[in-house]
A and B are shown apart, each in its own frame.
Chain A
Amino acid sequence: MSPVSRRILVYWLLLLVPTLAVGAGALLLLRRERDRLAESEAYATEARRAAVAARAGLIVENVELLVGDFQAGLLETLEAMPAAGLDAELQAWEKANPLVRSAFRCMLDGRIVFPPATAADEEARGFRRRLGPLLESSPPWRSPAAAPAAMTQGPGVGDAVGAAPYRNDEREARQLASANVSKIQSARREAQDFAKAKEFASRSAASEADSYEKKLADAPAAAATPLPPGRRGWTAWSADGRRHLLGWIERAAAGEVRGVEVELTALAARLGAALPVETGSGEGYALRDDRGRVLHQAGLVPRGDPAPVVRLPLNRESLPGWEVVAFLDTPAAPAGAAGSGLLAVGSLLAVILLVAILAGGSLLMWQARQSEAEAAQKTSFVANVSHEFKTPLTTIRLYAELLELGRVPAAEKRAEYLRTIGRETQRLARLVGNALEFSRLEQGRKQFERVPLDLGAELTRLLDTHEPRLAESGLRLRRDLPGAPLTVATDRDACEQIVLNLLDNAAKYAAAGGEVTVELAPRPGGGARVRVLDRGPGVPPEHRERIFEKFHRVDNTLTAGKTGAGLGLSIARQLARGLGGDLRHEPRADGGSAFILDLP
């Protein structure tokens, strides 16, 4: 491995290893980022669910507060009614209070005293039909468990709220809740006022009110002394497929129980105030009754029945089966989808970056190798040219010195020396000419001067001139020229130089073959073809095109000992192509090379 290749390999490694390291690092970071994203997403969802659950808890609390207020108000009003003229008052109350469906009075054993069995109106008859049997068969005040349990009117939602997982979103939930506080408070105030109200009668100052006042005045003094508060409670009953909510107060002293059946539809209508006015996006809250119907809803309550985030039951005593459900619309995409998308895009970008870095590095490397090779070729060119120049110069100098010193006595010998000097000078001139030609061609300044030319005559003149030189290098020149003149329009000097370079080439490398043949023939499509054939060692197949590249020389073993600049064939081909023709090489049958020059 050459030091250059080693260096290149090292550079390569220096580029490749960090690049790969960076790529791997990027991938790692991307993966971690994705995991982090997925985790934070999951955390956010979890936190929102917790917040939603907390808000649902608050709604339950509010609903129960509202219901509790209504209930307390109703029972208080019931309690405060004087015993005298109670029936009339119950009737008036029933008529005036929007939350009262029926007011009733019955014996401790559950027998209904009011409304009387003789009552003709539909409401009273309906009440007796609905609830009479239930009251008589199992009066709620008789069941020992009822009273203490029923006494609890406050919210029993502590557990439910506590069970909801609180995170740091509790604060947020509280804030949202506080936005509703004023609404709830006003609703509660209204509830308290309302449950006690008998306003239809009192406000209208109609006959009802008059008679009511009168009855109050007529009431015996005993009614004014308050009875000790009796047991009270609430019972939810199902009758004819519907839920009925009954409140009752036991007046043991009077041996009877006063009660009220709540207008449940109206009560439910007012519970809408407990739901938040504004909800977060994707959140939904619904108040559902025991039949699973949504009474009120806020926010986004999905159709169908998807699993809610939380489902909190209301106070079992007053509204059994009622519940507050909360929904959270989580994004449809599975968790982490955003993360994996990031990973894909990130990886793609990283790969593109890596490929770009490596491709850029490779291009630079290739460019560097190219420049290096060219520099090496130029160095060897300069060395070769200098060497080429040196050989004829040495010869010229040697013979010139001999002649100068007058050591050559024979005139014949002197003449020979002078001829040699002349020949070497010509060779030097050819070399310089080649170098100049090359420089002109390289710079693109070569101008061709095309004139009609009899190629046969021209070749004959050229070969005549150079035959002796060829013979000296041991080559016998054979000619195969047509008898008739073959005229083409071409540049004389360029043609001459091409053929000369080919002959020099043969003299240099194929001298051992002993012969060189020059053929001229017309080409079928017009123009002419010149072939220069030798019996030299030939050109290895892999070099057949490259021999025409500048500075190229077939490797050392073949051309060892032979000097040359590697310019001759390159110049010849460039000239041939400049003339509109071509120069190529073919192996010659039975060994040797054939150089074929086509001229248009």
Chain B
Amino acid sequence: MKSSQVLLLLAAALTGAVSLSANSLPSDPVRLRVDVDRAVLPAGSTERAVVKIGLDCIRLPRREARPPVNLALVIDRSGSMAGDKIARAREAALELVRQLGPRDIVSLVAYDTGVETLIPAQRVGDGRRLEAAICGLEAGGNTALYGGVSRGAAEVRRFIEEARYVHRVILLSDGLANVGPSSPEELGRLGMSLVKEGISVTTIGLGLGFNEDLMTRLALRSDGNTYFVEHSSDLPRIFAAELGDVLNVVARRVVLEIDFPEGVRPMAFVGRDGVIRGQRAELTLNQLYGGQEKFALVEVELSPARPGEEREIACARVSYEDAVNDRAASLSARRNVSFSSSQEKVVASADHQVQADYAANVLAVAKDKAVELVDAGRRDEAAALLRQQAKELRAIGDTYANAAVSQSAAAAAPEADRLEREGLSNAQRKSYRADSTQVKSQQNASTR
């Protein structure tokens, strides 16, 4: 204990020295960029384009500059968790608590048939009470998942007024919710409601018994992370990854608005659940993590233009709470495209990164649909859908000589074959869902 404190001090001193020597602290932790899949578009016809609004976040300059967190650990202790699972969960939770600072707020909620607040929300302090409570976790009973999340949120809510804090519920479950509301839709709505309060729910599905639809939906709707952990031995790593994200929050309550000028019609978000109202597209994120990029892809349709014309394609504006400097901030950026009748110019102007991101998201959405089709017993349609998407992407890849796109297109084809042949196993379905969700929300930390 003593030696680790000394080490921590040393580390803090070192990083402090480094940051001092760097001495040019960027005032904004977030950078806003608007990219288009092609900077030059074909002239004379109605064209479709993909606009990528990227939010680049710098790494936190100093570890201790991070905003404090308000965490609720909601841990399943139903009968199915017995044995190694609960032991690993304990271990992981203990490790997580040790990583927290004394200012951070933690509550511990365990649920089985009923819900019990083992530790009400309080500052970590020396963490002894917490550790004792975590060590006392034993498994047995049913799975009141809804009640557990509700209680976890209620615990977080006690300190919701503390504006500097990052509010989050971490839910660990290995089973089907069998007490209380249990449909993915209802839990999704709960997630939507919670994110309005600034509470994200991270869901960790353990083993093969949980409902991945419910877990991914809850996480996606509340802008939390989601993980599929097949083996309980991975739990400590996942907790650490999750904490890495939570302790790296640089911006909160991020509202992204994209205004499109006349002649550019926003069609749809690719991957993310944004709202399009007329010429404006909106997207809300609960937080941004340092060192990661989050983005939104919007498909737009442009009215025909003359060759050589240059037009604005989108104007993005992001407002957020700067968690590092604890102040409100906003940024804006715009982007023009030009038109040309020369196919070579169009091809040469392609932004391979945007295309690759687009391809990944299109495939993620297609996979989600495929899962639904397989569930409905229509394997052939699911395979056809994946093949269709793969074909379209391959065309893009070939046209623009984009290796990344071609690669993901090529990977999709055998998957379609396997899907048609074997359907989806439980584990595959879970990883399909988790992967797709992670791609769509650009989750950095994942199981793989």
Most buried by B among A96, A122, A199, A299: A199
Q: What is the bound-complex CA distance between A380 and B117, given in angstroms?
A: 96
Residues from chain A with Cβ under 8 Å of B276 in the complex: 120-121
Residues from chain A with Cβ under 8 Å of B330 in the complex: 206-207
Most buried by B among A272, A277, A289: A272
Q: What is the bound-complex CA distance between A97 and B284, given in angstroms?
A: 14
Contact B179 A294 (CB under 8 A): yes
Q: Select one of A98, A293, A294 contacting B193, CB under 8 A.
A: A98
Contact B275 A295 (CB under 8 A): no
Whole-angstrom distance between the Cβ of A202 and the nearest chain B Cβ: 11
Q: What is the bound-complex CA distance between A296 and B278, given in angstroms?
A: 41
Question: What is the chain A residue whose CB lies nearest that of B257?
Answer: A207
Residues from chain B with Cβ under 8 Å of A96 in the complex: 196
Contact A299 B114 (CB under 8 A): yes
Contact A265 B163 (CB under 8 A): no
Is B150 engaged at the interface, CB distance under 8 Å to the other chain? yes
1/0 contact string of B134-161 vs chain A (CB within 8 Å): 0000000010101101110110010000
Whole-angstrom distance between the Cβ of A303 and the nearest chain B Cβ: 8
Whole-angstrom distance between the Cβ of A199 and the nearest chain B Cβ: 8
Q: Select one of A190, A204, A298 contacting B253, CB under 8 A.
A: A204
1/0 contact string of B162-186 vs chain A (CB within 8 Å): 0100000000000000011100001
Interface residue total, chain A, C-beta cutoff 8 A: 39
Q: Select one of B146, B150, B198 contacting A270, CB under 8 A.
A: B150
8 A Cβ contacts from B77-105 to A: none
Contact A205 B328 (CB under 8 A): yes
Is B31 engaged at the interface, CB distance under 8 Å to the other chain? no
Interface 9-residue window, one of B242-250, B317-325, B397-405: B317-325
Q: What is the bound-complex CA distance between A266 and B317, given in angstroms?
A: 30
Q: What is the bound-complex CA distance between A338 and B175, given in angstroms?
A: 41
Is B396 engaged at the interface, CB distance under 8 Å to the other chain? no
Whole-angstrom distance between the Cβ of A182 and the nearest chain B Cβ: 13
Is A217 engaged at the interface, CB distance under 8 Å to the other chain? no
Is A273 engaged at the interface, CB distance under 8 Å to the other chain? yes
Whole-angstrom distance between the Cβ of B370 and the nearest chain A Cβ: 21
Question: A294 and B189 in contact (CB under 8 A), knowing A97-B196, A272-B150?
Answer: no
Question: A200 and B196 in contact (CB under 8 A), knowing A207-B255, A266-B189, A272-B151?
Answer: yes
Residues from chain B with Cβ under 8 Å of A277 in the complex: 117
1/0 contact string of A255-285 vs chain B (CB within 8 Å): 0000000010110111011000100000000
Question: What is the chain A residue whose CB lies nearest that of B187?
Answer: A265
Q: What is the bound-complex CA distance between A363 and B83, given in angstroms?
A: 67
8 A Cβ contacts from B277-296 to A: 277-278, 284
Contact B253 A206 (CB under 8 A): yes
Is B197 engaged at the interface, CB distance under 8 Å to the other chain? yes
Contact B189 A293 (CB under 8 A): no
Is B190 engaged at the interface, CB distance under 8 Å to the other chain? yes
Residues from chain B with Cβ under 8 Å of A205 in the complex: 328
Residues from chain A with Cβ under 8 Å of B198 in the complex: 200
Q: Select one of B180, B197, B255 contacting A295, CB under 8 A.
A: B180
Residues from chain A with Cβ under 8 Å of B319 in the complex: 204, 206-207
Is B71 engaged at the interface, CB distance under 8 Å to the other chain? no
Contact A301 B154 (CB under 8 A): no
Contact B179 A297 (CB under 8 A): yes
Is A6 engaged at the interface, CB distance under 8 Å to the other chain? no
Whole-angstrom distance between the Cβ of B40 and the nearest chain A Cβ: 29
Most buried by A among B147, B193, B275: B193
Residues from chain A with Cβ under 8 Å of B189 in the complex: 101, 263, 265-266
Residues from chain A with Cβ under 8 Å of B147 in the complex: 272, 295-297
Whole-angstrom distance between the Cβ of A87 and the nearest chain B Cβ: 11
Whole-angstrom distance between the Cβ of B160 and the nearest chain A Cβ: 9
Residues from chain B with Cβ under 8 Å of A268 in the complex: 150, 181
1/0 contact string of A219-251 vs chain B (CB within 8 Å): 000000000000000000000000000000000
Contact B194 A98 (CB under 8 A): yes
1/0 contact string of B246-281 vs chain A (CB within 8 Å): 000000110101000000000000000101111000
Is A502 engaged at the interface, CB distance under 8 Å to the other chain? no
Question: What is the chain A residue whose CB lies nearest that of B192?
Answer: A263
Residues from chain B with Cβ under 8 Å of A299 in the complex: 114
Residues from chain B with Cβ under 8 Å of A203 in the complex: 163, 253
Contact A98 B277 (CB under 8 A): no
Residues from chain B with Cβ under 8 Å of A269 in the complex: 146, 149-150, 153, 190, 193
Contact A206 B190 (CB under 8 A): no
Question: What is the chain B residue whose CB lies nearest that of A277?
Answer: B117
Is B113 engaged at the interface, CB distance under 8 Å to the other chain? yes
Q: What is the bound-complex CA distance between A269 and B276, given in angstroms?
A: 29
8 A Cβ contacts from B186-239 to A: 186-187, 189-190, 192-194, 196-198
Residues from chain B with Cβ under 8 Å of A190 in the complex: 157
Residues from chain A with Cβ under 8 Å of B412 in the complex: none
Q: Select one of A99, A119, A270 contacting B277, CB under 8 A.
A: A119
Q: Select one of A98, A207, A301 contacting B196, CB under 8 A.
A: A98
Question: A296 and B180 in contact (CB under 8 A), knowing A120-B276, A207-B330, A208-B255?
Answer: yes
Question: What is the chain B residue whose CB lies nearest that of A190?
Answer: B157
Taking A204-B253, A207-B317, A263-B192 as known contacts, 20 extra A-B pairs with beta carbons closer than 8 A to each other, sorted by chain A number, are: A101-B189, A120-B276, A200-B253, A203-B253, A204-B320, A204-B328, A205-B328, A206-B253, A206-B255, A265-B187, A265-B189, A265-B193, A269-B193, A270-B150, A270-B154, A295-B146, A296-B147, A297-B113, A297-B144, A301-B114
